Structures are given as C-alpha cells and as structure tokens.
A and B are shown apart, each in its own frame.
Chain A
Amino acid sequence: MSVNQISIFLENKTGQLAEITGLLAENHINLRAISIAETADYGVLRIIADDAEKATSVLLAHGNILSMTPVTVVAVEDKPAGLSELLSLLSDGDVAIEYMYSLFTHQNGKAYMVFRIADEEGFTKLLASHGLTPATAEELNLK
C-alpha cells in the first residue's frame, strides 16, 4: 500500500525551488510533504502532492526531469518516543531505510512518516506482524 512520490532534478542554484513551488501554486496543487537531498552541484526534490497526476503533468510540461517513486507512509503516535518505537521495530526486523521524512498532515493525535524502503514487501509484513498498516491515500486525502 504505497503512495506516489514525485522526485524532481534540481540544479543547485538560486530560484530553482521557487520556480517549482510557483508552478504548483499556479495550478492549485497542495503539497503534503517535501524533502530535498543535495550534493554540491545538484539535488533531488521529493514531494507528495494532493494530486500527483496533475502535478506530474504540469512539471513535465515545463521541462522538468522527474520520476515517480512508490513510498510507504506510516502513522506514529504524536508524543515522545512515537517515532523511536517504530524505528526500533525496523531495526530489530533488519529493514533498511533508504530515506525518510515527515508529512505535514497531522490528525487524531497521529503524525505521519514517509519511508523509502528497498524491501517494501518485507516492510509491510513486519508492520502487519505488529498490527500496523501503512496509511492509505484516502486516509491522507490524496487523489
């Protein structure tokens, strides 16, 4: 049960990020999560948009280089140790994380974490064995 993340190539220079967010704003696309990984010369911008399909077509139409990547979103208790407990499960279950960031969405005392895991199936099984399920697109109000 994964959610679509859009990864966009960004050259490391002033105004690149504002150009992308401006484009999304013009098209009334709302961001649910955003993260940047960077090197000295370039970066990869990762976003979760409320309408991934629309965001993709708008970005492509403006010559951006991007790719769609499935990621897993998991709710954690919004209190001290909430994330730590989940990460301990992963660590004990020997599940490696490629990268992780958080979602802006916050509801019912829960915060949401976005995970990119190479072994997604193993991750889902591990969660299930502890009575947990990944958050669905509907739950997160994503199209």
Chain B
Amino acid sequence: MSNYYQPEIETASPEQIREWQNERLVKQIRHVWYNVPYYRKKMEEKGVTPDDIKSVDDLKKLPFLTKDDLREAYPYGLLAKPLSDCVRIQSTSGTTGKRVVAFYTQHDIDLWEDCCARAICAVGGTKDDVCHVSYGYGLFTGGPGLNGGSHKVGCLTLPMSSGNTDRQLQFMTDLGSTIICCTPSYAAYLAESIHEQGLQDKIKLKAGIFGAEAWSEDMRHDIENKLNIKAYDIYGLTEISGPGVSFECEAQTGMHVNEDHFIAEIIDPDTGEVLPDGTKGELVFTCITKEAFPMIRYRTRDICVLSREKCPCGRTHVKMSKPMGRSDDMLIIKGVNVFPSQIETVLIQQGYPANYQIVVDRVNNSDTLEVLVEMTPEIFSDSLGKITEMEKSLVAELKAMLGIYAKVKLVAPKTIARSEGKAVRVIDKRKI
C-alpha cells in the first residue's frame, strides 16, 4: 500500500498537473520579468515577452539559463525577491572560485521540505519512524532538506550530519533508526562498519534515501543485502532547491519529478532542441513555484530520460532515470561537484604548470581523487623537505577550492599521457 505525503497532488490526473503548470508558469514568467532585470534582458534578447507565454507549450520560446549565468549574476543578479523577504541561503562548491548561492523565502523552504517529505513517505516513512539524517548540514542542501522533510512527516529526526561513524552507529542502535538518509557511498561504508562490529541484530533500519552522487544497481543490491533494507534514490540540485526535486517510489524504476513545482524537459545538449519523452538528453528544469531564486529553463548538464509510463505506486508525476552522464566536464566526487578548471586554477596560482591529470577512482565504495602534476625545474629542489612542503600547501589549496581531499602526486616530466596532442585531463576509473 502506497504511502503519500500529499496524495491529492502526487496522484493528480495528468490534466490537472498540466493545468497547475500552465497557470504557475505564466505567473512565474511575469514575476521574473518584473523583478529580475537579468531575466528580462535575456528574454528581450530572444524577443520574448510574458505575453508570449500562455502555457507549458510556450516554454521552448524562453532562453536557457546555465551555470555561466549564475556565475555572471553572482551573488544577487538572479534574486527575484527583496533580501528582506529571504530567510536562508544554501550553496554548492565553487567553480573557478565562485560558488552558487541560492536564496530561499520561507515559502521556498516550505515547498522544498514538502518535496523531501514526499520522498520520505514514498519509502514508507510515517510519524512513527526514526529518521537518521547523515547528509552534511550547513551550506550543503542534503542535511537541511531531508531534515525539514522528516519534520513535516513527523518522524523523530536525528540530525547526525556526516562523519564520526562510531557516533552514527551508537545513535542508530540506541535510538533505533528506521530510515537512513546519506550518500550511497557512506551507506556502503556504514554497512561495512556494522558488519565489522557485529551490530546487524541491533539495527532496525528498513529503508534508505541515498543521493548526491552516482550509484549503480549493483551498489543498490549490495547496500540492500548488507543492511537488510530497501535502498531508494533521490535527486536534486541546489540551483533548483536541493534534494527532492525528484525521488524514487516503491517501484524503484526511476524518480518522480515533483511536477507541481518543477517542469522537466529533455533537450539535445548541442542544439537545445526539445526532445520527446523516452529520448536520452540533457535535463532542464523550470521552477514554477519558487519565489526568491526561480530558475527558468536551467540546464542541469545531467543526461537522462523521462518516462510517462503508468507507475504501480499510483503517482502520476513524470519519472526521470538516474543521470547517465554529463554534458559538461563536471565530476561528482564524494557528492561534491568538481570541475577540472578549478584544479587548473589552483595549480596555476601555486606556480605549477597547467599540465596535470585527474584520476578518480572508487576504493571500498568511497571516491578517491588524485591529481598528477609534472615536476618542473622551478618547483624542484635538492631538499626533499621543501618539495614535501610545496606538496602539502598544494593539497591544502585544493581542499580549500574543492571542499574535498585530493592526493597530489608529483610525476616525471612528459609522463602525463597525451592523445592526439591533447592531454587527457580526467581518468575516471569508477565503475558505476
């Protein structure tokens, strides 16, 4: 029996959803036209005015928004409400030094938490559950989003945040956590620790909500077997709100997009042309209910497929597949967005050559990042101590830029593989 948070919305007829979308889109476009000069200029450049947008069919007339726009408009350029109406920011790791900062009014927080509450109900969560949130809290949206959703469902919420595995396990066993929310790699790590410490009998988990990084069906089965739970996927991005933009139901065959809040489109990443459902392409979102930071046709760079096939769970909202890749060079490492250009920036600032290679791997279900740098006469010293110091300072600068640890490996000159004269910058050995 399915468990819904807002049944009248989640199982609404496609016609009803379409009606909401039409009405909200028209209103949203007027909102950004009158309140965000940046959007107005973009629309004017494309020769579109709010009068041209009468329904979802007109969405394709609107310009796309990209991460470059966010960078250009940083920090307030896309804000659609006075700052005095905003109550929160969340942020992602930066690209070339600048972060994405998203603003929320109380209304925006509410709808975001509603989305997360739907995700928790979809995995069977009720007010009798103990919801253990091990996503990071703070600027990262993972912790705050699921925390808010868990409150709305009425679960006893454990705001654990990430790290300190022994403490996580102690609370999990002492307080009887029944739902765990974290990255899939941390879930796999927790599962191993539980087995190592022989705590299997003391664990009461029944379901897990895992997102913020790519994971395979094999990994799902592995986590499900080791923890004796059902493992569900959740998707989201800070620009659009955070986790809960879409979530998996009991069918475990894709994630329902919360279409009353977000319109999903699939486009050809090269031409921008809208592709029909069932076709693989880049996922684009339009926020139709958010007030402070409403992204219009935001290109996620995630490649996936939308499906409108009837779902056995009773939900009528469109389903998206797990992202199958990216249409840019962004890497997701330990749930953190990493662009090769960020690493390049740090190397150049620190006086290293821009001749580097990034090796990403997954060891014991956890991502590893290694940056290979070719030694140069300028960096080289007869003193091993001096080289080690430089290495340490580079590791610290990379950590400051990326937010995660990167191992630095100094290699002999001309050893970084080049193909067709162009260096291969990224080697991703993860088998996802």
A and B held together in a complex: yes
Q: Which residue of A44, A46, A67 contacts B377 across the interface (Cβ within 8 Å)?
A: A67
Q: Is B380's beta carbon under 8 Å from chain A?
A: yes
In the complex the two chains form, is B410's CB within 8 Å of A42's CB? yes
A65 at the interface (CB under 8 A from B): yes
Q: How far, in angstroms, from A41 to B391 measured CA to CA in the complex?
A: 12
Chain B residues near A16: list those with CB within 8 A. 412
Q: Is residue B375 within 8 Å, beta carbon to beta carbon, of the partner chain?
A: yes
Whether B414 lies near A67 (C-beta < 8 A) is: no
In whole Å, how far is B27's beta carbon from the nearest beta carbon of chain A?
A: 58
By beta carbon, the residue of chain B nearest A67 is B382
Q: List B346-385 residues whose CB lies under 8 Å from chain A.
A: 375-377, 380-384
Q: Is the CB of A9 within 8 A of B412?
A: yes
Across the interface, do A44 and B384 meet the contact criterion of CB distance under 8 Å? yes
* Smallest CB separation, B346 vs chain A (Å): 19
Binary interface encoding of chain A residues 73-100 relative to chain B, with 1 for a CB under 8 A from any of its CBs, else 0: 0000000000000000000000000100
B412 near A69: Cβ-Cβ < 8 Å? no
* CB–CB A10/B412 < 8 A: yes
Q: With an 8 A cutoff between CB atoms, is B308 at the interface?
A: no
A51 touches B (CB below 8 Å): no
By a CB distance below 8 angstroms, the chain A residues around B383 are 98
Q: Determine the distance from Cα of A16 to Cα of B384 in the docked complex, in whole angstroms.
A: 18
- Are B382 and A44 neighbours in the complex by a CB distance under 8 Å? yes
Cβ contact within 8 Å between A11 and B382: no
Residue of A nearest to B410 (CB): A42
Per-residue contact bits, chain A 1-29, to B (CB 8 Å; 1 contact, 0 not): 00001010111000010000000000000
Q: Mark B402-419, 1 if CB is under 8 A from A, else 0.
A: 000000011111110000
Determine whether the beta carbon of A9 is less than 8 Å from that of B375: yes
Q: How far does the alpha carbon of A62 sit from the alpha carbon of B409 in the complex, in Å? A: 22
Provide the residues of chain B in CB contact with A69, threshold 8 Å.
382
B388 interface hit (Cβ, 8 Å): yes
Contact A7 B375 (CB under 8 A): no
Please determine whether A11 and B411 come into contact, CB atoms closer than 8 angstroms: yes
Contacts A9-B375, A39-B388 given; does A63 touch B413 at CB 8 Å: yes
Q: How far is the CA of A20 from the CA of B75 in the complex (A)?
A: 54
**Majority SS of interface residues in chain B?**
loop
Taking A9-B412, A11-B411, A16-B412 as contacts, is the C-beta distance between A65 and B375 under 8 angstroms? Answer: yes
Q: How far is the CA of A64 from the CA of B384 in the complex (A)?
A: 17
Nearest-Cβ distance from residue A40 to partner chain B, whole angstroms:
9
User: Could you tell me the distance between the alpha carbons of A43 and B381 in the complex, rounded to whole angstroms?
Assistant: 11
Closest Cβ of chain A to B388, distance in Å, is: 7
| CA gap between A46 and B414 in the complex, in Å | 21
Choice from A5, A7, A63, A66 contacting B414 with Cβ under 8 Å: A63
Are B382 and A7 touching (Cβ within 8 A)?
yes
- Render A29-46 as a binary contact track against B, CB cut-off 8 A, 1 for contact: 000000001110111101
Query: Complex Cα distance A139/B110, Å?
Result: 85
Quick one: which of B189-236 are within 8 Å of A by CB?
A: none
Complex CA–CA separation, A66 to B413 (angstroms): 11
- B409: A residues at CB distance < 8 A: 41
B384 pairs with A9, CB closer than 8 A: no
In the docked arrangement, what's the CA distance between A55 and B227, Å?
62
Assess the A11–B412 pair: CB atoms within 8 A. yes
- Report B406 CB to chain A, min CB distance, Å: 14
Contact A66 to B384, CB < 8 A, known contacts A9-B375, A11-B411, A42-B410: no
- Counting from the closest, the 9 A-B pairs by CB-CB distance are A7-B382, A11-B412, A69-B382, A65-B380, A37-B384, A9-B375, A65-B375, A41-B409, A9-B380
Binding site for B on A (CB under 8 A): 5, 7, 9-11, 16, 37-39, 41-44, 46, 63-67, 69, 98, 116
18 contacts between A and B (CB under 8 A): A7-B380, A7-B382, A9-B412, A11-B411, A16-B412, A37-B384, A42-B410, A42-B411, A44-B382, A44-B384, A46-B382, A63-B413, A65-B376, A65-B377, A65-B412, A67-B380, A69-B382, A98-B383
